[in-house]
């Protein structure tokens, strides 16, 4: 994990910790809107309300700020998948996963767009994580889904594309929030849109995975 420059001092003060968070909040605003390539240290300093030299005391480079944010996002984003329980009821686990991913789209839209921008640019800063820890976790949960299908608890399906589909449908509500609200219109674009989405996606995925009791 990337360590802020100020964090390497023997004693970090409360003010130092607050400044680091202030900088990372500003960096998240800038990176999520403009992507890594389109962002500058000057922009981040302006949003943070700090001078550039003061900002550079805490984070020496733009890459250091971006890396610190990406590390946080990867940990947070994968937590719902880690909680996917092989011993649990498949419908309960899938329903919980869908809802937790939608909650993250609602509560962390900037983080979602930060991650999406990174991937769209070829994932230059997180390729090792995608091919390493992320792949290992998805492989592990894919085996859980295969086992459910083998035991007849759900229909046979491609577990990777099931996971990809849940990712894309839930994160859409963060990455394309402006489009979602514009199309839904004022009457349906409030916070209730996430509950509406949850009910629909549960019906879509759980209904589609539920075995036919008649075997047809």
- Which residues 6+ apart lie within 8 Å of 99 measured at CB? 198, 202
What residues of the chain score a pLDDT lower than 50?
1, 3, 6-7, 9-10, 214, 216
CA distances from 186 to 170, 182, 191, 198, 204 (A): 21, 8, 11, 19, 25
Q: What is the per-residue pLDDT across 50-84, written as a single tens digit (0 to 9) for each?
A: 999 999 999 999 999 999 999 989 888 889 999 98
Q: What is the pLDDT of residue 188?
A: 86
Q: What is the pLDDT of residue 25?
A: 96
Q: What is the pLDDT of residue 213?
A: 57
- Scanning the chain, the segments in alpha helix (DSSP H) are 14-34, 41-48, 52-58, 62-82, 90-107, 109-120, 127-129, 135-150, 159-175, 177-184, 192-209
Q: What is the pLDDT of residue 14?
A: 84
Residue pair 183/215 in contact (Cβ under 8 Å)? The answer is no
Q: What is the pLDDT of residue 215?
A: 53
Q: What is the pLDDT of residue 7?
A: 47
CA–CA gap between residue 86 and residue 113 (Å, rounded): 30
- Rounded to two decimals, the pTM is 0.85
CA–CA gap between residue 116 and residue 204 (Å, rounded): 24
Q: What is the pLDDT of residue 77?
A: 86
Domains of the chain as residue ranges with CATH: 13-60 (1.10.10.60), 69-209 (1.10.357.10)
């Amino acid at each position: 994990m990337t360590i802020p420059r100020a964090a390497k001092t023997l004693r970090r003060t409360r003010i130092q910790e607050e400044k680091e968070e202030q900088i990372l909040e500003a960096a998240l605003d800038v990176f999520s809107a403009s992507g890594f390539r389109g962002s500058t240290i000057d922009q981040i300093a302006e949003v943070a309300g700090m001078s550039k030299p003061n900002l550079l005391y805490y984070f020496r480079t733009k890459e250091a700020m971006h890396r610190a944010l990406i590390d946080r996002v990867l940990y947070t984003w994968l937590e719902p998948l880690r909680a996917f329980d092989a011993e649990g009821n498949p419908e309960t686990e899938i329903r919980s996963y869908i809802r937790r991913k939608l909650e993250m789209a609602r509560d962390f839209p900037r983080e979602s767009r930060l991650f999406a921008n990174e991937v769209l640019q070829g994932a230059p800063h997180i390729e090792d994580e995608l091919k390493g820890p992320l792949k290992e976790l998805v492989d592990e949960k894919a085996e859980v889904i295969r086992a459910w299908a083998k035991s007849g608890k759900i229909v046979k399906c491609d577990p990777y594309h099931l996971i990809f589909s849940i990712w894309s449908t839930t994160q859409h509500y963060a990455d394309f929030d402006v489009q979602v609200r514009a199309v839904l219109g004022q009457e349906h674009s409030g916070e209730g849109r996430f509950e509406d989405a949850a009910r629909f996606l549960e019906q879509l995925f759980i209904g589609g995975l539920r075995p036919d009791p008649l075997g047809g």
